[in-house]
């Protein structure tokens, strides 16, 4: 299992893969965790097994400050399935910046605060489609 985490970057949400993406504002941190399976298989007539690794699942966590006027935050609700793009570094140019994207299922949404402070927001969930990484920075 491995985790990528950050406090910068851009998170975009939309209702579907081709829909208008809304930047989620006021985020202070994010993380994406990947689970992997160790696979073993044999070809007929082969004595030695082939081994490999396949992605099993992924999950995410985002936290920040609640903003009722933020169009990206307005899409977030527990039980929602949304298309998510994470641009962990760069200026938001998907053609050159690393990008992770896939459908997410939001299984928890929490807000908390006090009368004299900002209201905090966090939401967590699991990937509901393969996570696709482009212009990858993993291992660089």
Q: HSE of 50 in the Cβ direction (CA atoms, 13 Å)?
A: 9
Write the pLDDT tens digit of every residue in 68-93: 899 999 999 999 999 998 888 766 66
Contacts of 26 (CB under 8 A, 6+ apart): 64, 65, 66, 67, 70, 73, 121
17-34 pLDDT tens trace: 998 889 898 889 989 888
Q: Rounded to an integer, what distance in angstroms lies between the CA atom of residue 75 and that of residue 29?
A: 18
Q: Report the predicted TM-score, pTM, of the whole model to 2 decimal places.
A: 0.77
CATH code at 2-40+51-134? 2.40.10
* Domain range annotation of the chain: 2-40+51-134
């Amino acid at each position: 299992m491995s985790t990528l985490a950050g406090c910068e970057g851009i998170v975009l949400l939309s209702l579907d893969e081709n829909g208008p993406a809304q930047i989620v504002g006021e985020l202070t941190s994010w993380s994406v965790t990947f689970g992997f399976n160790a696979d073993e298989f044999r070809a007929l007539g082969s004595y030695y097994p082939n081994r490999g690794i396949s992605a099993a699942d992924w999950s995410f966590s985002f936290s920040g400050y609640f903003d009722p006027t933020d169009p990206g935050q307005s899409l977030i609700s527990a039980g929602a399935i949304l298309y998510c793009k994470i641009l962990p570094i760069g200026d938001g140019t998907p053609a050159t910046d690393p990008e992770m994207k896939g459908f997410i299922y939001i299984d928890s949404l929490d807000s908390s605060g006090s009368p004299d402070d900002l209201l905090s927001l966090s939401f967590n969930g699991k990937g509901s489609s393969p996570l696709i990484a482009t212009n990858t920075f993993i291992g660089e």
